[in-house]
Amino acid sequence: GAGVGAGASNGTSILVIIGPEGGLAVSEVEKARSCGALTVSLGPRILRTETAGLACGVAVLYESGDFS
């Protein structure tokens, strides 16, 4: 399957959508998927808005090999 940073290494744009504490509504996730989004999760943890973007950025950089 495609990883978090699958598009980062080939020049494809990556858009990160950070949802509210309770998560995105099922309809929001379905809409994103119908528009071609690949949905991923950072697991069961609930991150603060201030740290969620940073964590996602690090995951994308790691998966794209930018830490080597």
Please check whether residue 49 lies inside any domain of the structure: yes
Domains: count for the chain: 1
- The whole domain housing 20 covers 8-63
Which of these, 65, 64, 55, 61, lies nearest to 6 by C-alpha position?
Answer: 64
pLDDT digit string, tens, across residues 31-45:
999 999 988 888 888
Please check whether residue 58 lies inside any domain of the structure: yes
What is the reported pLDDT for 58?
A: 92
Which residues make Cβ contacts (< 8 Å) with residue 2, sequence separation at least 6? Answer: 38
Please check whether residue 21 lies inside any domain of the structure: yes
- Of the listed ranges 7-11, 21-25, 30-34, 40-44, the one predicted with least confidence: 7-11
Please check whether residue 19 lies inside any domain of the structure: yes
